[in-house]
Structure 1
Amino acid sequence: MAYLYLFIAITSEVIATSSLKASAGFTKLYPSIAVVMGYPISFMMLSLVLKTLPVGIAYACWAGLGIFFVTIASYFLYGQKLDLFAISGISLIIIGVLIINIFSETARSNV
């Protein structure tokens, strides 16, 4: 159940963060609503995740995957271009999240 909550936390954070630009400084209603609703949902779900997963592991997944998905959303929604260094850095973040979840005993210690 923790990973379902983590998925919801990441998804709502990505929606909120991606909506920040579209809100135009909170002058556009619907993107502003997405921001104002998305972050509390994300933090609430993340707090549920922390009942079973270690905070460092949960936060690494939440932040790392959030960075990845916000970058992908920005590419498609706002035409954000990525150079080789940006792609390399984001790839290292994803590799780090995968290593933690596949190989680390810490990730499984409280589940």
Structure 2
Amino acid sequence: MPFVLLGLAIAFEVTATLAMRASDGFTKAGPAAIVVVGYLISFVFMAKALTSLNVGPVYAIWSALGTIGAFVGGVLLFDEQVRPLGVVGAVIIVLGVVVMSFGGGVSQH
């Protein structure tokens, strides 16, 4: 169950981040509201996940998958360019999270 909560936290964080781009500098009320509500819900889900998971790996997973989600969402929704160096960076982020998870574990003891 904590990983489901973490997945929901990531989904709401990515949605909020993409809505921030769509808000046009917070000048569009609908997307701006999605930003605020999305981040609030994301933090609540992550806080719930942290009751049984370790903070370091969870935050690494949350931020890494959020970064990848925002990267892919930017490409799909806003026609942002995919550059080879950006893809390399995304792979490095994912590898870092994998290494961190092996090193510190995810579940609290």
1:80: Cα distance to partner?
1.1
Write the letter of the residue equivalent to 1:11: A
| Paired residues of 2:8 and 2:45 also in contact (CA < 8 A) | yes
Matched, 1:70 2:70: yes
1:95: Cα distance to partner?
2.2
Which ranges in structure 2 are unaligned for 5 or more consecutive residues? none
Residues 40-92 of structure 1: per-residue CA shift (max 9 Å, x gap): 00111111111111110110000000000000000011111121111001011
Aligned-pair identity (%):
34
Size of the aligned set, in residue pairs, is: 109
Residue equivalent to 1:96: 96
TM-score by length of 2: 0.91
1:107: Cα distance to partner?
1.8
1:60 alignment partner, SS class: helix
Residue equivalent to 1:22: 22
| Paired residues of 1:100 and 1:107 also in contact (CA < 8 A) | no
TM-score by length of 1: 0.89
Residue equivalent to 1:50: 50
Which ranges in structure 1 are unaligned for 5 or more consecutive residues? none
Write the letter of the residue equivalent to 2:31: P
Give 4+ residue runs of structure 1 displaced > 6 Å after superposition.
Answer: none
